[in-house]
């Protein structure tokens, strides 16, 4: 099993749709979880951290399921500007921050 796995997509959704991404991980000792957004030919930028109890930031909701070892990102009311690649990242203590390969989202008018 790969350390971090994501569905590569692409996910093509209409404006206003709700879309969800999952990211599974193999290291049960993982402690820090993040979702990053990467626009074409740009560096990744933090979208949100993922907390044990789940957290929300506007239209974005992140959840962690330790038992099943996955994190999720839910985007409500998709905007054209949400089109990007979404990468999950995680680390265990002082181990390297490992990234998934990313899920590409295209929001269509």
Site of interaction with other proteins (CB under 8 A): 31-32, 34, 42-46, 49, 87, 89, 91, 93-102
Q: How far is the CB of 82 from other proteins (least distance, A)?
A: 19
The closest of 62, 73, 65, 57 to 22, measured between CA atoms, is 73
Please name the residue that has the structure tokens 């990007």: 84
Q: How far is the CB of 16 from other proteins (least distance, A)?
A: 28
Residue closer to other proteins (CB basis): 18 or 32 = 32
How far is Cα 29 from Cα 66, in angstroms, rounded to an integer? Answer: 10
Residue closer to other proteins (CB basis): 3 or 17 = 3
Q: How far is the CB of 94 from other proteins (least distance, A)?
A: 5
Distances (CA, A) of 63 to 21, 23, 28, 71, 81: 11, 10, 16, 6, 22
């Amino acid at each position: 099993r790969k350390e971090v796995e994501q569905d590569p997509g692409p996910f093509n959704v209409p404006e206003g749709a709700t879309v969800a991404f999952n990211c599974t991980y193999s290291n049960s000792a993982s402690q820090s979880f993040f979702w990053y957004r990467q626009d074409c030919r740009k560096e990744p930028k933090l979208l949100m951290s993922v907390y044990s109890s789940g957290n929300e930031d506007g239209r974005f909701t992140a959840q962690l399921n330790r038992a099943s070892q996955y994190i999720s990102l839910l985007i409500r009311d998709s905007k054209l500007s949400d089109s990007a690649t979404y990468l999950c990242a995680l680390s265990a203590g002082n181990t390297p921050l490992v990234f998934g390969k990313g899920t590409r989202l295209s929001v269509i008018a």
